[in-house]
Structure 1
Amino acid sequence: MAFVSNAPLVSRLTRRGRLMAKRTCDRRGHAFAFGRFLFRTPTAWEYAAAVAGGSDPAAQRWLGWLADSVVAEPMRGEALRVLPGTGPDWATPDPHSVDVVAIDLVAGRCAGLVSVHAGEDGGPETGGYLAPEYRGQGFGRDLFAAGLLLAHEHLGLSRVRAGAEVGNVASGRSLEAAGLRRAPGPPRYTLPDGRACEAWWYQHDAAWPRACAGPQAKWLAAS
């Protein structure tokens, strides 16, 4: 989709972005800015846009979602047109994951999603993805750095891990640029669609983690 270059529209989106950037974490959700993005608990429509951003074949090569989770065209294009800040509140379908959508405050669109979730061993892991237009530009570092902020500064976790499929060099570089370092771990992991992959593992530790006023995941805090 080509972004409509319209001065009044851009002005409205910029004002909307500034207003959203002022939001803080509360019992209804998380919100924090990093770089050009606002990371926040999504509305239902923002979450749909984020899922659409990871539904293309190139992303699914690494994500391996179940078929009924992948958004196909033309719905994918429609979802990617969602205007941030619109839609009803979203009730997460997965109690074992805390998700925040990446909102591009410059372009006024949903750019991706990052989460802190339960790994295969039950411990906290971070992971995420970007919409096609945001790949290959260094934004992966910001995405994973936001995952670390969510884990350490919002969920009170002292340690978080991340996995990448062997051969996914771009993901590995982004994880290391965000501050994670290679760590030992299981040689393989299983994607949601059942495909088993060889794995690289990464880890990040914080000496003084803290929890914010946003929703807390008891299963993560107990890990």
Structure 2
Amino acid sequence: MDFRFTREEEVFRQTIRDFLQQELPPWWEGIEALGTDEGWAFYRSFVRKMGAKGWLNMHWPKEYGGMSATPMQQLIFTEEMAYHCAPAQIDLGPWVGSTIIVHGSDEQKRKYLPGIATGEAEWCIGYSEPGAGSDLAAIQTRAVEDGDEYVINGQKIFTSLAHRADYCWLAVRTDPDAPKHRGISMFVVDMRTPGITVRPLIDMAGLHTFNEVFFDDVRVPRE
């Protein structure tokens, strides 16, 4: 068995290296810089450039903005990004996008996938709660159906980059009578929706990455 990379794979690796050496500024030392305005501005520009190349979600089909990358191409990309401490897409939009590709409607794919693929849209993940931590079975944030909408009330905590996000991938309880590990639904919530309050949690280094997020009668349309 030949374990060497193919010529095409080596060319791909060099393409990534050339891009990173050209785009990463001398002051970049890792994702800790995202807690500063300068670091965030650089990150946003950087991920858009990667999105234009189809690299942000390269395993996605081309029709959704990926490049139908092989597992080996994904490995090479991950190696080079890690070696150069480059900021990969950290907003977890790829998690959301992959779920929408598999389970979403055609309308949801048209609405959300382009922004994730290009890096234009930022996402935060609404899982952890003050009384639940990362135990999703214990979440208390509720969504109650009201006509063509759901009304959401509750609180999330340690929500990374909620103050930067366009959308929240939100886990809420929709059936309080179901067993704790059931009766939970996922919502896409526009962070500009009335009733959402984001409060910063400043870490020991004085950086603002985490947040508390409060939902007070937030109305989300059925999709």
State the TM-score, normalized to the length of structure 1.
0.29
Q: Between the two structures, name the one with larger relative contact order (CA 8 Å, sep ≥ 6).
A: 1
Q: Find the structure with the greater CA-based Rg.
A: 2
